[in-house]
């Protein structure tokens, strides 16, 4: 099977491309920069899509602007896939996009609707936030004397497990809306920060931000999470330990841990 992956060099794209290749698929990556198995193209302008889609059976649309451009990009990808006769379009979305009035989530929901109405056989998978997203939230505050947090729960999932599920869905063929997937635990953001700090040997105070409105209330009510038990198996503490081990000096690696 010949597959084109948009966003194939991103956080989710890299493990997805690796797994698809391991399954014997002919994988192309749409990218603005040259490289191995890359086709130069841009989902914002549509430049290069026609060439990249020649003889392609399946498209995984994993690229995101992380903002309001997503629906326009989805339309460009859909139009190009329709012209190329693509048989299966797979799209990654986020759990709760139909319940949480957050602008980025609304953009994801609109992108879903564009794909649903495209006439192209499709699969849409919604996942909870990746472990790395929670880690990034903390890393961005590394120069502050405290860590700011929201009083919300979360259900982070390993990006590798989302990639594995995407490959299963590619192999299964068009499935419409697949069952939402989430991590193996639900924990408060404050708890995740404490887990991260223990793994990294830091202990900055955590200050809670008390926000109000429909969006924060939807997050507090857990509309961005799936029922338990979750799909994933890696807990946030395991991810934090892996990240901490990767950031240690070479002489420290492997000491005091039993990492796989």
Residue found under tokens 């006769």: 85
Q: Give residue 28's domain range.
A: 2-248
Per-residue pLDDT 10s for the chain (260 aa) are 999 999 999 999 999 999 999 999 999 999 999 999 999 999 999 999 999 999 999 999 999 998 899 999 999 999 999 999 999 999 999 999 999 999 999 999 999 999 999 999 999 999 999 999 999 999 999 999 999 999 999 999 999 999 999 999 999 999 999 999 999 999 999 999 999 999 999 999 999 999 999 999 999 999 999 999 999 999 999 999 999 998 654 433 232 322 22
> How many whole angstroms separate alpha carbon 70 and alpha carbon 99?
18
Asked if residue 220 belongs to a domain, the reply is: yes
Structure tokens at 131: 């472990």
Asked if residue 187 belongs to a domain, the reply is: yes
Residue found under tokens 């290069």: 48
Asked if residue 259 belongs to a domain, the reply is: no
| Residue 203, CA atoms < 13 Å, CB-side half-sphere | 1
| Residue 93, CA atoms < 13 Å, CB-side half-sphere | 32
Asked if residue 95 belongs to a domain, the reply is: yes
Say how many domains are in the chain.
Answer: 1
Asked if residue 257 belongs to a domain, the reply is: no
DSSP state for residue 130 in the 8-state scheme: B
> How many whole angstroms separate alpha carbon 183 and alpha carbon 231?
6
Predicted TM-score (pTM) of the model is: 0.92
Asked if residue 258 belongs to a domain, the reply is: no
Asked if residue 255 belongs to a domain, the reply is: no
Which CATH number characterizes residue 137's domain? 3.40.50.720
- Let me know: does 163 contact 16? Beta carbons within 8 Å: yes
**Strand 122-127 to strand 88-94: parallel, antiparallel, or no bridges (unpaired)?**
parallel
Asked if residue 78 belongs to a domain, the reply is: yes
């Amino acid at each position: 099977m010949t597959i084109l992956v948009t966003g194939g060099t991103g956080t989710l794209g890299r493990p997805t491309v690796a797994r698809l290749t391991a399954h014997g698929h002919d994988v192309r990556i749409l990218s603005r920069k040259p490289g191995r198995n890359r086709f130069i193209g841009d989902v914002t302008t549509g430049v290069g899509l026609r060439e990249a889609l020649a003889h392609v059976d399946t498209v995984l649309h994993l690229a995101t602007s992380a903002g309001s451009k997503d629906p326009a990009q989805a339309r460009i990808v859909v139009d190009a896939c329709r012209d190329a006769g693509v048989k299966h379009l797979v799209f990654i979305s986020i759990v709760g996009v139909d319940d949480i009035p957050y602008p980025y989530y609304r953009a994801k929901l609109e992108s879903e609707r564009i794909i649903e109405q495209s006439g192209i056989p499709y699969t849409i998978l919604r996942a909870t936030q990746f472990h790395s997203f929670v880690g990034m939230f903390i890393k961005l505050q590394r120069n502050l004397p405290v860590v700011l947090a929201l009083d919300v729960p979360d259900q982070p999932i390993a990006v590798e497990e989302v990639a594995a599920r995407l490959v299963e869905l590619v192999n299964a063929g068009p499935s419409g809306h697949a069952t939402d997937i989430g991590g193996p635990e639900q924990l408060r953001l404050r708890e995740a920060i404490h887990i991260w700090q223990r793994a990294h040997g830091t202990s900055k105070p955590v200050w809670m931000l008390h926000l109000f409105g429909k969006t924060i209330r939807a997050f507090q009510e857990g509309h961005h999470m799936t029922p338990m038990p979750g799909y994933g198996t890696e807990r946030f503490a395991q991810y934090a330990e892996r990240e901490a081990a990767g950031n240690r000096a070479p002489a420290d690696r492997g000491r005091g841990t039993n990492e796989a």
